[in-house]
């Protein structure tokens, strides 16, 4: 397919597929697509982003144009119908060489073996940049382009599934990924009691984001005290359950705004679990995303 002349439908449709429910689970690790970075129009020649890193895994999906990427260990050029996977924490930058359309996709990695998997990914991808350009990837990207440019509601719902399939097929191309999974399965029975507690806590939080959760309620769910909960969660995750819950709720709120920017901030806050204080929600949103939710919503509306 030729480079699209008008990306309004494509970007609007992609924005509606934020936070798909599909997850990839294997051997103590879960993968889940989280947030998209979508420009309202094509990138222009010379557009660039300086050195930065993501705490989660990151895909760059090129539908048209040419984008050059650098990491601290290597560089490569991404052409149409190619996907780049960047492991968590890899510092990188990019520059647009030929105008085109590119989608950024964060993939959250969670679970008891997250650190183990991240270490494996950095070894398996020594340059920090994995380009995938198989015929299967090209076919899926062609479907994304066709459905994204078609102004039909059903086609837009298909995009979430296309992107999920794209993520699965890309991750399958990571060298020795099957060997890591097989080895992890053998060790899966070695989880400590503390790891099991943390896994149960995270699952409970993810299932009850919109509810008025308290640390007391979470602790009761796993049959331990609040102080013990905080101590165990921090020991395993290097994070507190309160901060984990807050970030999950804020990510969910951002996805709600992207899906329905006409919704009121009060409604978004309530649906994300901030049921008592909208001002607090706005402050926390700005702290994480460097923008008030109302300002973020206005930017989304201006692109549509």
Contacts of 163 (CB under 8 A, 6+ apart): 17, 20, 33, 105, 144
In the block, tokens 């331990």 appear at: 224
Strand 29-38 versus strand 102-110 pairing type: antiparallel
Q: Look at residue 4 in the predicted model and tell me its pLDDT.
A: 44
Please give the C-alpha separations between residue 191 and each of 196, 207, 231, in angstroms, as whole numbers: 7, 22, 18
Mean predicted confidence (pLDDT) in 132-152: 82
In the structure, what pLDDT confidence band is assigned to residue 146 with cuts at 50, 70 and 90? confident
Q: Global pTM?
A: 0.66
- Among the listed residues 303, 25, 7, the one whose alpha carbon sits nearest the alpha carbon of residue 164: 25
CA angle 133, 137, 140 (to 5 degrees): 150
CB distance 42 to 7 below 8 Å = yes
Q: Look at residue 145 in the predicted model and tell me its pLDDT.
A: 79
Q: Look at residue 153 in the predicted model and tell me its pLDDT.
A: 65
As a whole number of angstroms, the distance between CA 248 and CA 205 comes to 9
Pure H helices in the chain = 8-15, 114-124, 135-149, 153-172, 177-187, 193-207, 215-221, 226-237, 241-259, 265-271, 278-289, 293-302
Q: Look at residue 167 in the predicted model and tell me its pLDDT.
A: 86
Mean predicted confidence (pLDDT) in 204-217: 88
Beta bridge partners of 109: 31
Please give the C-alpha separations between residue 23 and each of 120, 168, 215, in angstroms, as whole numbers: 20, 10, 26
As a whole number of angstroms, the distance between CA 127 and CA 175 comes to 13
Mean predicted confidence (pLDDT) in 191-197: 78
Please give the C-alpha separations between residue 207 and each of 7, 216, 269, in angstroms, as whole numbers: 35, 16, 17
As a whole number of angstroms, the distance between CA 227 and CA 207 comes to 22
Mean predicted confidence (pLDDT) in 246-257: 88
- The overall average pLDDT reported for the chain is 83
| Phi, psi (degrees; rounded to nearest 5) at 164 | -65, -45
Count CB-CB contacts under 10 A for residue 69. Answer: 21
Q: Look at residue 2 in the predicted model and tell me its pLDDT.
A: 45
Beta bridge partners of 96: 67
């Amino acid at each position: 397919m030729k480079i699209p002349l008008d990306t309004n439908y494509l970007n609007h449709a992609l924005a509606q597929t934020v936070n798909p429910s599909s997850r990839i689970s294997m051997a103590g690790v879960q993968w889940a697509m989280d947030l998209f970075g979508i420009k309202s129009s094509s990138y222009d020649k010379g557009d660039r982003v300086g050195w930065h890193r993501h705490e989660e895994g990151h895909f760059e999906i090129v539908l048209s144009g040419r984008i050059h990427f650098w990491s601290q260990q290597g560089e490569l050029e991404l052409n149409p119908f190619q996907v780049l996977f960047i492991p968590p924490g890899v510092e990188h930058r990019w520059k647009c060489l030929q105008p085109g359309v590119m989608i950024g996709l964060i993939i959250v990695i969670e679970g008891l073996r997250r650190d183990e998997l991240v270490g494996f990914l950095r070894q398996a991808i020594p340059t920090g940049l994995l380009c995938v350009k198989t015929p299967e990837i090209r076919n899926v990207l062609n479907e994304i382009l066709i459905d994204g440019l078609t102004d039909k509601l059903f086609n837009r719902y298909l995009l979430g599934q296309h992107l999920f399939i794209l993520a699965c097929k890309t991750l399958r191309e990571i060298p020795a990924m099957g060997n890591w999974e097989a080895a992890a399965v053998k060790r899966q029975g070695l989880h400590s009691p503390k790891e099991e507690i943390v896994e149960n806590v995270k699952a409970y939080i993810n299932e009850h984001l919109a509810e008025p959760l308290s640390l007391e309620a979470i602790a009761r769910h796993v049959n331990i005290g609040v102080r013990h909960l905080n101590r165990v969660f921090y020991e395993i995750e290097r994070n507190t359950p309160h901060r984990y819950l807050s970030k999950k709720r804020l990510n969910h709120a951002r996805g709600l705004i992207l899906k329905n920017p006409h919704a009121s901030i009060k409604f978004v806050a309530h649906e994300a679990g901030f049921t008592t204080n909208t001002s607090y929600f706005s402050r926390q949103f700005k702290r994480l995303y460097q923008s008030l939710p109302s300002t973020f919503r206005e930017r989304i509306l201006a692109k549509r």
